[in-house]
Amino acid sequence: MLSPAAVLFASAAEIPATVPRTHTPAVEARLGRLVGDWTIQGLPSNTFRQKCAWYGGSAFVVCNFQDQRDRSTGQVVFGYSELQKRFTYYRFDSRGRGVYQLGFPTGTYGIVFTDERLESDGWARVQTTLNLEDEGLHYTQYRSLEGRTWQRIADFLYVPAAEKRSAKNRH
């Protein structure tokens, strides 16, 4: 009898090389803008780095990040739920924090995600926006605590991480 892991790996080996696309071209194009090797403008790439790639026949964009500012690592998963007709955003980190937000399209390639959550100082509504700009992805986040005025709590630009080429590859 095969172990569950052996069955899983044997099944994965049988998946055809060309998996049919999961989403419409419009959804895939919007999610595809998130794929890349990102850092935050103005920070050294060794301070924050997030690498995002397609997963499962373009079903999801999975990102692995490392943030030296709070010494955390984690994953972000962007997707689209056909059932809910909404974009999805999951974030998990090594400090035990997790976020789940639902989103909708904005602008040409942007996505706005929203949620409500109980925080240490009360119920908060949070809106996270990713907009494509010439230089990269503009990330903003707003928070309203218990229905009060919205406060911007994050505003930065993800830019492609500049890879340093070795002396051998400079020719």
Contact predicate 21/29, CB 8 Å: no
Q: Which residues pair with 37 in a beta bridge?
A: 51
Which 3 state secondary structure label does DSSP give 59? coil
Q: What does pTM read for this prediction?
A: 0.80
Q: Would you give the DSSP letter of residue 13?
A: H
Q: Going residue by residue through the chain, which has 171 residues, state the pLDDT in tens, using 9 for 90 and above.
A: 444 433 333 334 444 456 566 899 999 999 999 999 999 999 988 999 999 999 988 999 999 999 999 999 999 999 999 999 999 999 999 999 999 999 999 988 899 999 999 999 999 999 999 998 888 999 999 999 999 999 999 999 999 997 544 444 444
Predicted confidence at residue 79, as pLDDT, reads 97
Domain parsing of the chain, residue ranges:
19-157
CATH topology of domain 19-157: Lipocalin (2.40.128)
Whole-Å CA distances, 55 to 15, 65, 74, 149, 161 = 14, 16, 16, 38, 21
Return the pLDDT at 22. 83
